[in-house]
Amino acid sequence: MKAFAALALAAALAVPAAHAQQKVIADKSFIRFALTQMGISVEGRFRKFDAAVAFDPAKPEATRGEFSVDLASIDLGTPESETEAKRKPWLDVQGFPQAKFTSASVKALGGGRFEARGPLTIKGNTHDIVAPFTVAESNGVRIVDGQFLLKRLQYKVGEGEWADTDTVADDITVHFRFALPLK
C-alpha cells in the first residue's frame, strides 16, 4: 500500500508543469445563455465568473481548467425575473452561490475545433457535459469560444410549478467565450 502511494506521488510529481494555469481576461470573456420562454428565445448572462485555465492547442489532453460562476450576478431582462431566478426554485443563490465546471478532458477534433468534457455542478447537482469549442489567436490573446446545451431540470433549476417545460423549455443554450493571455 505504501509503495503504491509512493508510486502515485511520484507519478503526480512527474507530470510536467508544461504551462501554468492562467486567469481569463474578464472584460474580453463572457458567459451568455438563451432560454426558451413560451416559445420565445430570451437571453441572459452572468456578469461575474472566474476561470483558471492551462491550455495548449498542441497538447489538448494536458488541459486543466477550473471554472466558477457567481450565480447571483445573473443578468436578465427585468428586475422581476432576476429576483425570481435567484430564488430557491431556480438557482437558489443563497444555498448554492456558485456553479462549477472542471474540464476533465479535452480532445482535438481538428481544424481548430476541440471538445471539453467534465462535470458541471449547479445547485448541488453534478452531471458531465460535453462542450465543443474553437480556438483563435489575435493580438496576443487566445479566444476560446464554444457552446453547450444545458438541461435545466437535470440540475433542478426551475422546480415545482416551474418544472413545466411548456412555459420554460428544459434546454438552455450556454454560449461562452474566454480570453486567455498568450504569455
Partner 1 sequence: MSLAVSPHYTRTAIALHWIAALLIVGNLGFGLYVAGLHLSPAKLRYLPWHKWIGVTVLLLSALRLLWRLGHAPPPLPATMGATQMRLARLSHALLYVLFFAAPLTGWLFGSASGIQTVYLGLVPLPDLIPKDKAVAVVLRAAHKWINYSLAALIAVHVAAALKHHFHDRDDVLRRMLSPSRGPAT
Residues of this chain that bind partner 1 (CB under 8 A): 37-43, 76-81, 83-84, 161-162, 164, 167-168
CB 177 within 8 A of CB 136: no
For partner 1, the closer CB: 31 or 76: 76
Integer Cα distance of 18 and 44 in angstroms? 36
| Of 35, 34, 30, 33, the residue nearest 47 (C-alpha) | 30
Integer Cα distance of 9 and 57 in angstroms? 27
User: Whole-number minimum distance, CB 176 to partner 1, in Å?
Assistant: 19
User: Whole-number minimum distance, CB 172 to partner 1, in Å?
Assistant: 15
For partner 1, the closer CB: 83 or 105: 83
For partner 1, the closer CB: 37 or 105: 37
User: Whole-number minimum distance, CB 43 to partner 1, in Å?
Assistant: 6
CB 131 within 8 A of CB 116: yes
Paired with 71 in beta bridges are none
Residue with cell 457552446: 147
User: Whole-number minimum distance, CB 44 to partner 1, in Å?
Assistant: 8
For partner 1, the closer CB: 115 or 159: 159
